[in-house]
Structure formats: structure tokens, C-alpha cells
Structure 1
Amino acid sequence: MDAAAPVYGGIEAGGTKWVCAVADAGGDVLATEVIPTSTPETTIRAAVRFFEDRRPLAALGIGTFGPVDVRPGSPTYGRLLATPKPGWANVDVVSPLRAALGVPVRLDTDVNVAALGEWRRGAGAGLGTFAYMTVGTGVGVGAVVNDGLLHGLLHPEFGHIRVPHDPVRDPFAGSCPFHGDCLEGLASGEAMRRRWGRPAEHLDDPSAWELEAEYVALAVMNLTYALSPERIVVGGGVAKHPALLPAVRARLLTLAAGYPGAPVPAGPAAMEEYVTGPSLCDRSGVVGAVELARAARPESTVFCDAPGNARRD
């Protein structure tokens, strides 16, 4: 690597770990490091050290767990809100990194940034409307609509939508500390752990995965009808189970009941194209964070932010 060439930094800031990366001007990742998420001070300090060792840094992009204030110009921009992560509520993620590194810092949600990574370099490349759903410790959705990342009042909180919950079939009350049996409370990795008594990666019971596919399929159907994305990528640790996505596709065909017909996928072959896993595997988030940093370049006149305002370079 040319010592004088600037690099672009990205952080996928998760509740369990922070993945830090630097990339060249073309977005190719040059180095990464995984930092366990401990206290805010310790975690942020470790991230600063990673980037200080890899100067000159041109800009930094961050995709963080939330909820988080992503509104530039807001007095609490970059500050986590009512997160259930102990010790992290009201923590300012942006200011200490900006002050320590002295570079522009862009921030978005972890799932929006994963959507950006897949849109720029993965399964959503070339699409104008695209959604990324993560089903892991939590559940979330990031979306590209009309070539821009979707924001609004705050950012999408799709994990907290309501889906049908049959207490006879599934007597589990839900794990969400705010809503109980919302989508996240029923379908997240944490919900599976509490319902079945062990983590999803250690679950082999077909009935457990049949129930999980039901909830994920309901969520995908709602997302399809609400946003009309051209493709939905489903990622996250829970989604890695080989039985899940095939069961989701099959159930979605039944739930859709033929409505409204073409161009909504109407058969198994089309459904495999429509509901798919991430092309970037576990790197969607950190690649998207780097893309967020690259959008802060002076020559980038348009920033991937709101619908219709997507950067093209």
C-alpha cells in the first residue's frame, strides 16, 4: 500500500463486536480488525487506535446498532437512543471518533449500512429499490428506495412491526423489552434462545425452524407489499441455517396467494432470485460502512442519503 495514499475507514458497530476496516479509494478492503463490544470508552478507544495506525485517513463511515439519531444537524446526531444494550443508551458514537481522528464521519444504522454494502457491491447492485433484512440477535431492515438509503422521521425500525402471533401454536410471550411479541420479540436469535432454551445455531428441531420461517415469511410479505423492493436479501446469524430461506420462500408463495400477480414473483424459481442471502456474506456491514466514508469525499457531489439523492461515481 502507498504510504501517502489516503484510506477510507469503516466500522460495523454491533452489540457484540465492532468490525473496523480500511479500504483504498476504489473501496477495496485492505485491513480489518474485530474489537469486542465492551464499555463505550474501551471500545471507542480501541477503534481509534486501529485507525491511527493506518493514516492518512480521509473519512470514516459507521454503521451502528440502534436506535440512533441519524439526522445530520440534530443536536443529538450520532447518539444512541433507547437501546437495550447495557451501558450504551445516550452514548455519542460520532463525536469522540471525529475529535480523535480529525476526519469527516458519516453515520447510519448497521442494517442500512449493510443494505448499502450489498447495493453497491453485492446482491443489490444495479437495483433502484432494494431491501436488506437482518435476522440475528435482533431483527432489522435497511432499504434503498429510488437509489437512496431510506430515512424519515428517524430510520426504519422494521423489527418492531406486529406480525400475527398464535398463542396456541406459539405460547412464547416474546422477548422484546418494549413490545413483547413484535417481530423481533418472536423471530430474533434472542427470541429463539429464550423460547427453545438454546441458541439458534444449536437448534436442529424442524418445528423450531418451521415456526421461524413462518415469522420471517410474514415479515418478507409485509416488506414486499409496503416497499415493493426489487429484491430482498436476508442476512444475519439466524438466516445462515440452511433450512430457513427455502422454507421462507415456500411459505411466502402461499401467503401471497397469487396477489397481485406479475411482476411479484409467482413461482419457486423467481422466488430464489427475489429472496436471497447476502453476496458479501458477513462483510456486508463493514463494506457498506466504507462506502459511507467514500461518499464523504470532496469529489462526491451527491450523498447516498434520501430517496432520489444517491451518489453515483
Structure 2
Amino acid sequence: MTISETLTGRAAAALDVSRAARSSKVAAVVMVAAAGLLAALPFLVFSTVTDTLVNLFVLIALASMWNLLAGFGGLVSVGQQAYIGIGAYAVIALADLGVQPYLALPLAALTCALFAVPTSWLAFRLRGDYFAVGTWVIAEVYRLLVVRIDSVGGGSGKGLTGLSGIDQTLRGALTYWIALALALATIGGCYLLLRGRLGLALMAVRDEETAAGSAGIDVGRAKRLVYLVAAAGCGAAGGVITVSSLSVNPDSIFSVQWSAYMIFIVVIGGIGFIEGPLLGALIFFGLQQLLADYGSWYLVLLGAVGIVVALWLPGGLWGMVRGRTGLSLFPVGYHVRMR
């Protein structure tokens, strides 16, 4: 063995390489406890509280999917409302066929993933700003197609069947638990996905697509896979919205406002961080609850907050926290310390 090999071996032995820092492990315990408390909430508070929290969980799920798509995959979409609408109408159609609406939710997510396959072939022919505008146009096309289908209510929308036999309190609790499970599944799914080889491939494609391809990464496969995952997640969220509201309207469910919410939440929370959508959704939801009665001033304040964060905190609020403390609740990289 040479002297250089000996020194290299000693240096490696002096290093401790791990996935998570001690603070991340403590944060994981706190988050598990918080998830348990949230799961028990229907037994502790009135249904009005849990009904309101369903909206928060839906926002977390939607923002996590958009962050996965844009923050890690580099695919800035303004048309994810297409899959929210498809998922919502899939639940309506399946319920009309006799499928229990709660059981229809995973089928709605699968339906959106199937729709995303041909859609991706069309959308991926576009790049950059053209991709963003193209996804919005595709969403509008889907809305116009749904409006012309009389069996799902056409332009007037349609009510959800199949839940009338369930007690209202039990139905509210079930909807709450499913929405909570969706939020946890989207966050956990993003975490597991980004810890693997696909996560490294996505971030390489996001940073420089040409270089990633020359390094042996299947760029088309990586982008298409994350697009399908995001479509399925948005479709499941659309299904939860339908189960919660018990009806669907094409103009509201296919509204570009959903994409605006996702973008706003991720920008203020921190794009490219798994924690970003969670923090951004909490802030957005809080502002929504506090300022909704102020009419247009509510929207003005939201816009002002977005502008301030975009100009002075390009990494979002979590980017600022991460830069100052090094804290990572969902570590996808490695920590190297001296023994």
C-alpha cells in the first residue's frame, strides 16, 4: 500500500457520513407526534375546524406536487388545474357507476396519470415559457371538453352521489382523515423519490438538461415520470375537493387560480425544498383565514407578500431558515462530519 493510499484511508476513517443530522432526527420525532395529534383532531374539536383544515391539506398536497414538478424537475407548469379537474370529474363519473366515492379517489389519481401520458407527449415538445403557456392551454382544452359532456352536468356541473347514506359527522371525519393522508403521502412520497437515483437525475436535469443527458441520464424518462406523479397527486387532490364540497363545477375546478395558489405557496415557502410547500401553505392558509373578509385588499396583500419574498428572499422563507441554521427536516443529501 502506498503512502497516499494510507493517508486517504485514514482520512475516510475520520469522517462520519450520514443522511440526517441530529436536528433532522429530532424534527422527525416532532413531526410524527404532530401527525398523530392531527389524526386525533376529529375527536377533540368541532367539525367546523376539521372541515376548514381539509382545505389546508389540499393546498399542501397541490403545492408539494408543483414543487416536485418545477422545483426539482425544472418543469414550470401553469396548467396543473387540468388534473385537478380530471380527478374531480373522475370521482363524479365513478360514483355514478356505483363506486363508493372514497374508494374512487385512488382510481381518480390513476385516471389522471393515464391522461398525463398522451398529454406529456404533446407538452414536452415545448420548452421554457412555451411549456408553461402550453400547459395552461391544455387545461383549457380539457375544460371545454368536459363542458360538452352532458352526463357529467355540462357547463352547470354536477353533484356527487353515493355519500347520502353516511352520517354527516362520520363523513366529515372520513374526509378529514383522507385529506390528511393525502398531504402526508405527497410530502413523504416526494421525500422518498428525491432520496433515490431519480431525485439526483431530476435535479441534474433541472440544473442543465444537456449536461445531464451527456452524463447518461434518460432526460425524457425522468421528466415524464415526475410529470405523471404530479398529475396523479393533483388528481387525488381534485377528488378530495369533490368529496368535501359534494359537487363540482367546471369553471371553478379547472380555474387557473389553482395554479396561482400553488405557485404563490411554493415561492413564499421556498422552491426546491420539500419543506417549502408545507411552510408556504401554512402562511397562505393563515392569511386566507385572517384576511378573507377584506375583499380585494386580501388579494392585494397576498400579491405584496409574494413580490417582497421574490425580490428579497429568492430561496423563500425556508431558504432563509436553511441558510442561517442549516436545518433540514427532509434531508435528501448527505452530512459529513469529523469523528
Q: Report TM bin, short chain.
A: under 0.3
Rg larger in structure: 2
Structure having greater relative contact order (Cα 8 Å, sep ≥ 6):
2
> When you count strand as a share of all residues, which structure comes out higher?
1
TM-score normalised by the chain length of structure 2: 0.25
TM-score normalised by the chain length of structure 1: 0.26
